[in-house]
Structure 1
Amino acid sequence: MSVQLLQNPVPGRHGHKRFDADEPVTSCPRLSESSADAGLLSSSPGSPVSGAPLSVTSTHQGPARIGQYLLVPLTDRPGVHSALDMDRGEELLCKVFDMGQYQEKIRAYSMLSSHKNIIQIKDIVLGESKAYVFQEKDFGDMHTFVKSSKRLPEDLASKLFHQVVSAVYHCHQVGIILGDLKLRKFVFSDEKRAQLKLEGLEDCHILRGEDDSMFETHGCPAYVSPEILNGGVCYSGKHANTWSLGVMLYTMLVGRYPFHDPDPATLFSKIRRGTYCLPDGLSLRARCLLRSLLRKDPGERLTTAEVLIHPWFNGNTQDTGKAEQEVNLGEQTVPQIEMEQDEDFFS
C-alpha cells in the first residue's frame, strides 16, 4: 500500500496521507465496555477511550487497520472510532467522512490559530471513498459530567465555563459561528477533568464578512434561542451562540435546563416567552451573568468578549488577566427546526 504526502490541510500539520484503497472498518468491540452516555449515568463519567487497552474476543474480528492506525468503532458515537497509532503508541479519536465532504468539514481549522480549548487535528488519512481525520482523545464530555454531578459548585463552574467561552470567543474573532452549541460539544482533555476543549468544528458556519446574519434552524431544542424560533427571519449567529452559552451555564449551576419540556411545542413556547427561574443559593454575580446571557432581545446579550471579563470570573480562573489583555472591548418555525434527539433532559 503506497502513501502519498499531500499539501497541509490545517496549520501545524506535516501533511496527510493518501492510500490506494480503503480498508473497511469492521465491526469490533469497543475499547471500554462502560457506556459514557446512556440513560442515567454513573457518578464518574469516562471517555470511551479512557486508557483501556485494545482487546478483542474470539467472537469478534480484530480492529481495522488504516495506515499506521488500528480503529475500533464507538457504538455510542456514530462515525467516530478510537484509534491506536501503532508507530507512536498514542491513543487518538478518528472521525470518518465521505471524501466529497471532508474538506468542507475541516475548513474552519485552516482559519484558526492553535487554541488550548479547541481540539486540534493530528493527522488525516485519505482512502478512495473515505477520509479519516484523527484528533486528540478525550476523557468524557461536559453533558455527562454535569448530569452525573447533578450541578457544579460555582468555583468549578467558573473555571470550566471560562474555558468554554474562550473557545467560542476565539472562533467569533475569525468569523466562525458554532452550530449546535451545547455542553456535549466540550470534552475533557485530561483525566483530572480540569481542561476543556471544543471537540469539533464540523457544524460551524463560516462568515463571508462582518455580517453574522444567519437563517439556519439546526440545533438541539434545549439550546435554541428565541429569535431562531420566529421562522424565516434572519438572526445574529453570535448572539444566538451567547444564548446557548447562557443555557450551558444555567445547566452547569442548576443541574437542569432553564427551559425544558418533553413536548417540543411546549418547550419552544417556553423559550419564546424567555421566562425562567433562578434558584436560591446562586451568587449575585452568577445571577447577573445568567441574566445578561438569557435575554430575549439578542442585542441586549453580552458578547463573548464581554463575558470573559465579567466579575463572576474574578479569582476563579488562572487566565482571567490574560483574557482581559486579549479582549478588545471595542470590539424555526417549530416544524422546520431540525432537532437533535440525543439530548435527553436533566431531571
Structure 2
Amino acid sequence: MESLCPWRSAEVHFRRHVHHNPQQQQQHGVACLRVQSGHAPGRSRLGKQGSESDSHLDVAPPGAQPAPGRTGEPLSPGLGSPTPHGAESPTADGCWHGVSRIGEYLLVGNVIPGHTCRALHTLSGEELVCKVYDVRNYRDLMEAHYRLAPHRNINPVADILLGDQWAYLLYEASREDLHAYVRSCRHLPEDEAARLFGQVLVAVAHCHAAGVVLRDLKLRKFVFRDTFRTELKLESLEDAFVLSDDGGIKDGGGDDSLSDKHGCPAYVSPEILSTGTGGTYSGRAADMWSLGVMLYTMLVGRYPFQDAEPAALFHKIRRGQFTLPEGLSSRARCLVRSLLRRDPAERLSAQQALEHPWFQEANVGTLVRTSGQREQDIVDQLVPDINSDIMGQAFYG
C-alpha cells in the first residue's frame, strides 16, 4: 500500500465496495457503490495533511490500465442517483429536494448539480458539504487537487462518490466565510487582519509555488475552520487553473500567462480588463491584485473601487486610483499599495508579501480602533451584501 499523496497523480483509481440494499436496488436498478475507506465510516480523508496510508486507494501512472478491485470488480465504479428519503422525486432539471440518500450519506436540502448541500454521515453523524458535478468532467475540476500537496489552509476533499451521471465530492464542513465576517465587524483591526490575511497568503503561496493560479480570489472564498474564527482555509479549488510543468513552473517559476477573463468584478485586475482578444496576462500577478483588494476591504470596510455600473467600476479599476484612511499604520498602507500596483511586474509575490514588515509589527490593531472615525463614516464603509450587489457577481470577459 502506497503512502497516500493522491493529488500528485494524474490518475487516481478508487476501489469500490458494493453495499447490498434491496430497497435501493429495487428503486434504481443499481447497487449502491462508494469509495472504501479505512477511516471512520464513509470517509477517505484524501486531502488530510500527513500520511493516510490506510485508505484503500491505488495510485496509477498516466496511461496505466486499471487493475481489478479486491473482489474482482472493475475500478471507476458507478453509483446510483440519490434515493428519495421522505422527499420528492427528482424534478425535470435533475434536482432532488428535501432529504435524499446517496451511499452512507443523507443529503439535506436541494441537490442541484454545480451547487452545494449539507451531507450527514448516517453512522458517525458527521456533517460535511457535498458538491455535485457531472461525472464526465469532475476530474478536470479536481486537477488542482492532483497537483497540490495537502495544506492546512486549503479545504481537503474528504470523500468522492461516483455515479453513472453525477460525481459527489464531499468536503469538510466549515464556518462563516470571511466576507460575512468582515461585513459583520464593519472592518478588522490591523492585528486581526494581519493574522487572518497571513493565512490567506500562505494558502496562495502554496498554490503559486505548485503552478496553480486561483483566478477567482475574493473574501467569500475563504472560510473559518473553527467557531472562534481564528483559522482560515480556502474553501474550494474549482476555479483554479493548473499551469504546465514545462518551463520550470514548479517552485513559482516559468510562464504563468493566461488569456481567459475569469473572476469577480470588484476583484478583477486592470490588466485583465485591458487585455484584448488573444492577449495574455500573468495569472499569479492577477491573483496578487485580488489579494490587495481583499486586504483593503478587511482593513477599511469597503472595496477600493466601487460603482453600481460595471462600466464605471472597470474604468476606476483601470485607473488604479484609491484612497486609504489616515488611521491605518504606515506599514499596512505600504503593503496595500504594494499589492494594488497597476503594473503587474511591480506587485509583490505571495512569498514576498509574507515577508513584509507589517506582519511583524506589534499592537497594530489599536491604530484602527482609535482612529477617531465617526460612526456614520464607518457605516458608509460597510462591505456590500454580495447577494444584491454587482461587486460580488462573477465576471467573465
TM over 0.5: yes
Runs of 5+ in structure 1 lacking a partner? 30-59, 318-339
Asked if the contact 1:96–1:131 (Cα under 8 Å) also holds between the matched residues in 2, the reply is: yes
Distance 1:291 1:113, change over 3 A: same
Counterpart of 2:82, as a letter, is: E
Asked if the contact 2:264–2:391 (Cα under 8 Å) also holds between the matched residues in 1, the reply is: no
Asked if the contact 2:79–2:161 (Cα under 8 Å) also holds between the matched residues in 1, the reply is: no
Query: Secondary structure in 2 aligned to 1:138?
Result: coil
Q: TM-score, normalised by structure 1?
A: 0.78
Larger radius of gyration: 2
CA distance in 2, matches of 1:84, 1:311: 44
Partner residue of 2:288?
Answer: 242
Asked if the contact 1:74–1:82 (Cα under 8 Å) also holds between the matched residues in 2, the reply is: no
Partner residue of 2:342?
Answer: 296
CA distance in 1, matches of 2:331, 2:80: 57
Aligned-pair CA distance for 1:20: 4.0
Counterpart of 1:23, as a letter, is: P
Superposed counterparts of 1:217-256, under 5 Å: 217-232=261-276, 233-256=279-302
CA distance in 2, matches of 1:245, 1:77: 29
Identity over aligned residues, as a percent? 48
Distance 1:74 1:117, change over 3 A: farther
1:284 aligns with 2:314: no
Distance 1:27 1:111, change over 3 A: farther
Partner residue of 2:166?
Answer: 130
CA distance in 2, matches of 1:286, 1:311: 9
1:176-223 per-residue CA deviation (whole Å, 9 max, x = no partner) reads 000211011000111111110000100001101321000110110000
1:88-127 per-residue CA deviation (whole Å, 9 max, x = no partner) reads 2211101110111211111211111111100000000111
Distance 1:277 1:5, change over 3 A: closer
CA distance in 2, matches of 1:304, 1:154: 19
Partner residue of 2:33?
Answer: 3
Query: Secondary structure in 2 aligned to 1:135?
Result: strand
Superposed counterparts of 1:152-301, under 5 Å: 152-208=188-244, 209=246, 210-232=254-276, 233-301=279-347
CA distance in 2, matches of 1:152, 1:254: 8
Counterpart of 2:269, as a letter, is: S
My pick for the range that moved more, 78-87 or 171-180, is: 78-87
Runs of 5+ in structure 2 lacking a partner? 1-30, 38-43, 58-75, 89-95, 247-253, 364-385, 393-397
Counterpart of 2:347, as a letter, is: R
Asked if the contact 2:285–2:349 (Cα under 8 Å) also holds between the matched residues in 1, the reply is: yes
Counterpart of 2:272, as a letter, is: I
Superposed counterparts of 1:95-174, under 5 Å: 95-174=131-210
Distance 1:5 1:61, change over 3 A: closer
Distance 1:140 1:253, change over 3 A: same
Distance 1:105 1:85, change over 3 A: same
Asked if the contact 2:104–2:121 (Cα under 8 Å) also holds between the matched residues in 1, the reply is: yes
Distance 1:230 1:5, change over 3 A: same
Asked if the contact 1:27–1:73 (Cα under 8 Å) also holds between the matched residues in 2, the reply is: no
Counterpart of 2:275, as a letter, is: G
Asked if the contact 2:218–2:294 (Cα under 8 Å) also holds between the matched residues in 1, the reply is: yes
Distance 1:246 1:28, change over 3 A: farther
Asked if the contact 2:45–2:158 (Cα under 8 Å) also holds between the matched residues in 1, the reply is: no
Asked if the contact 2:213–2:240 (Cα under 8 Å) also holds between the matched residues in 1, the reply is: yes
